[in-house]
Amino acid sequence: MRHFAAMKQSESHFHVIRGLRHHVRTWGAPPAPRLFLLHGWMDVSASFQFLVDAFSREWHVIAPDWRGFGLTEWCREGYWFPDYYADLEALLEIYEPGAPALVVGHSMGGVVAGMYGGIRPERMRRIAMLEGLGLARRPASEAPHRYADWLDAVRDPPRFRPYASFGEVADRLRRDNPRLTPERAGYLARHWARQEASGEVVLVSDPRHKMVNAYLFRIDEAIACWQRVTAPVLLVAGRQSNIPRRMKDTPAEFAARVNAFRDRRVAEIDDCGHMMHLDQPRRLAALIEAFMPEP
């Protein structure tokens, strides 16, 4: 695997947060301003490497692995969105106590950042949400079937298949995202997976993240939180992303999500899918740094 000449070095830190050992990856150090990067579902903090490499300003970047992802401990009781809000609050208390934070969240991480920004508006200085406007709307009539599917998954939890090599993991990543270069896929495979004593390569994330959520996504609750966000918000989308299609919103319904934020900026990146920090890290870095305040 080719090494990236401009790759900035990260450090790993571990904190016990709400009973779980959390891994936090950092780049840079004080007195550089702190910038929190929150990864999405089935991702890891290391995937922000290429975005960090593209930053032109000096930052103290703080990127946690969410519970059950990357190098953070798994949760035997399952995974619930309110836990992510509480984990984020604990991280802010460690790294940015008593001051509003600069936060970038991708996908699930963007949902967490946006919701938390309405729950604790005083704790957020600016928020960049990278396709973090939530999931498809679901009618309440689906609830009985959703609960039944969840109970079935509790009885028979999902499992990940093993891989023969890190190269096989990299190939899978490129099938999921054809814009991913072989070099970046090879780098990511080493952080998405680990090699067992048997020689098999297994994903590091907890397969129980693949369980259906017992609760339907409640758009009215999300909008109510977003309306309380006082920080300026940057909403970034990839022009070739499949997320808008999966949301199944009408134009008016999608506009209601965007317009919930009182102080917002909207941007779109061309030749870019959902994984914008991998597809177009330089363009994304320029947008984020233009949005974030100068020291």
- Give tens-digit pLDDT for 73-115: 999 888 999 999 999 999 999 999 999 999 999 999 999 999 9
Measure the CA–CA gap between 235 and 242, rounded to whole angstroms: 16
Question: 116-136, pLDDT tens digit by residue?
Answer: 999 999 999 999 999 999 999
Examine residue 186 and state whether it is found in any structural domain, yes or no: no
Contact 41, 86 (CB under 8 A): no
pLDDT at residue 51 is higher than 50? yes
Residue 119: inside a domain: yes
With respect to residue 61, please indicate whether it lies within any of the assigned structural domains. Answer: yes
- Burial of residue 99, with CB atoms counted within 10 A of its CB: 0-12 exposed, 13-18 middle, 19 or more buried: exposed
Alpha-carbon radius of gyration of the chain = 19
Q: Which domain holds residue 256?
A: 10-139+218-291
Q: How many domains does the chain have?
A: 1
pLDDT reading at 1 higher than 80: no
pLDDT value of residue 4 = 56
Kindly report the pTM of this predicted structure: 0.96
Give Dmax (Cα) for the chain. 54
CA distance 4 to 188: 12
Q: Residues 133-150: what's their mean pLDDT?
A: 95
Residue 6: the pLDDT is 76
Q: Tell me if 2 is assigned to some domain.
A: no
Give a yes or no: residue 197 inside a domain.
Answer: no
What φ, ψ does residue 203 adopt, rounded to 5°? -65, 145
Tell the residue number behind the tokens 């309405």, with chain if given: 118
Angle at 185 between CA 182 and CA 186, to 5 degrees: 85
**What would the pLDDT profile of 190-229 be if each residue is shown by its tens digit?**
999 999 999 999 999 999 999 999 999 999 999 999 999 9
In a domain, 191, yes or no: no
Across 4-8, 96-100, 140-144, 173-177, least confident range: 4-8
What CATH number does the domain containing 57 carry?
3.40.50.1820
